[in-house]
Structure 1
Amino acid sequence: METSHHSDLGATLAQSRSGLRDSHRRSIMRLLFLVTGSSLVPFACLQFINGFWWVGAGELLASAVLLLGVWHLPRTANLQVWIYAYLVTLFAFFLVIMVLPEASVSAFVWVLMMPVLAYLLLGKREGMLLSLPFMIAGGVIYFLHLGHIGSAHALIDLLNMVLCGALMLAFIHMYEVRREEAEQRLVDMAQTDALTGLANRSNFQGTLNRTIAECERSGTGFALVIMDIDHFKVVNDTLGHDAGDQVLRDISQSLTERLRSTDFVGRLGGEEFGLILRNVKPADAFELMDELRQRIASRELVYGEVSVQVTACFGIAQWPDHGRSAETLFCIADRCLYSGKRAGRNRVAGAGAGQASRPRELLTGRAG
């Protein structure tokens, strides 16, 4: 049985922020560092000319740090720290240039950039938590900059600033909420078998890889089970594919009803299913699968005027006794599965300890 090598979409989504993977965020941060660092040089010169030497010196120092960051960002393991340091410093700088004497009114437009950058680089929750306090501070500074609000003109300026900032934040937040929902639906569709609602092959492979990594750290074991419905082609050929689909849905329901909350099940393709039984001993895994085998064999499915009964074979491989990699476990479980089929079907077959290349069958049940 060939294993899937598709990327783990669930893990990728969990590690992404605002729809951007870390590689994309690094690229954006390098561009921001380059543009900001280069732009600060002429601004620093203008600050020196205007007499604000301390602001100019700070801008030149920040420019040097940012241009060095362009080189360092691709390799740093602390990307999140760099993003926070950049955004907090940048937003604080926006506030500083607003409170300077004779500050230009145009300086206040930078308040509107705060939610854009924060949401883009940090996502919905962290983006709002970071940008909102700075935007409120910017609004207060603008209010103080206007002085006494005694004229309609000054009041209009204040309302324009407040309304525009509030709408900018609200629209970006609404967009991010809808984007996350749409992305989650797409990931669910990409990881779910449409017919049964179980995890699909790619999702199952990703979960298996994560389970192996977790067990490597904790030292616990698990069982990989491959299950195949006996003579499923006969159901499709005699009753039609609708009946076959109903059988697959019924089998899926049996699997999810019996397994523990810590276990995982997926449809690998056709009439083949995969199960991950976490923290279970070989004897317990065999007993659980034999109980599931009997449950499936005794279940009747009514399709029109026909009563359909099916059986299934199970092949069990134990981690780490029979292998430490996903490929080896799949190979052992597959061998056990087809050993049970050759022995008469409606069987559970497990590999004996230390016999990874020649599985020892543990057979129960009647021939199918």
Structure 2
Amino acid sequence: MHVPDGFINAPVSAAAGVVAAAAVGVSLRGARRELADERAAPLAGLVAAFVFAVQMLNFPVAAGTSGHLLGGALAAILVGPYTGVLCISVVLLMQGILFADGGLTALGVNITVMGVVTVLVSYGVFRGLLKVLPRGRRRSVTVAAFVAALLSVPAAAAFFTLVYAVGGTTDVSVGKVLTAMVGVHVLIGIGEAAITALTVSSVLAVRPDLVHGARGLAAPLKLRVGGELIDAPAADGAPAPAAAPAPATARSARRIWGAGLVTALVLAGVVSFYASASPDGLEKVAADQGIDKNVREHAAADSPLADYGVRNVDNARLSGGLAGVIGVGVTVAVGSGVFWAVRKRRAPESVEKSTSGKVSG
């Protein structure tokens, strides 16, 4: 759903840029809490790289139409909503600058539609479902992730239609655009939901403590007393039986990070060659409805990695694979750098608050 330059007029694109910048600013502050754990920053960088890789895997959803992961739900559930917005923003920035995917003047529109809207809708639905589903079960988290991701995609499509209604550069019926966009993106949402649920359940199976959306959901231990179930009292000072020693936990997190990075590299470098070549949902709707009449050439069209290929590499498989690997590497590096910087800014604030608390006490 990468919006190119020319779909939306300059004033609305600028306004969307302001909204996106404000959302990123709020997310930078909110992410400091989500990145408090030292494992969170590298995991967030990995999530950004994984979203980048999976977005290269267009899957067919209808005759002549494909879809790809948007990633807002996946990022929000794995690393938190504020960090999730930053993850998608990093991905969209790398795609726009390096690969000429998504217009540069439309970057604010893309961040707002694909990052902010998907995260807000999906995480709101996810938290709401967890309140009504059986507590403390991995299946509940997986089901909530599936539904949240499913609904986030047509919600983003509907919001794009709203943006088009305000600032579209062509005279096409908004009703037709809305029907076409939501219709095809409901189908894409099914793929998004499947990918999100599979990924979340895989991490839950090995390290549920690394899933932000699953924290604090463990059901208390129950004891049967006099025929009734009551919460078991916690032993004062006793460590949690299931807690792993810190070194083992760190090694486990590093293994998961390594496995995730290898998976992203394989998906982007190898599996992407077999992705559907059909236009994605927005491209198909734009062509069918005629809202692409004023599309402009991308400012980075001459990039050495434009269109996810490496210039002067004639072999299509090798060119696409190298571009995918480079994209994953750059995204994980930039993303991890951003998240480490955000986390380090939190440390002095924490020390200052702790010191002021001691003085006032």
Q: Same fold (TM over 0.5)?
A: no
**Structure with higher strand content:** 1
Q: TM-score, normalised by structure 2?
A: 0.22
Q: Return the index of the structure with the highest Cα Rg.
A: 1
**Structure with higher helix content:** 2
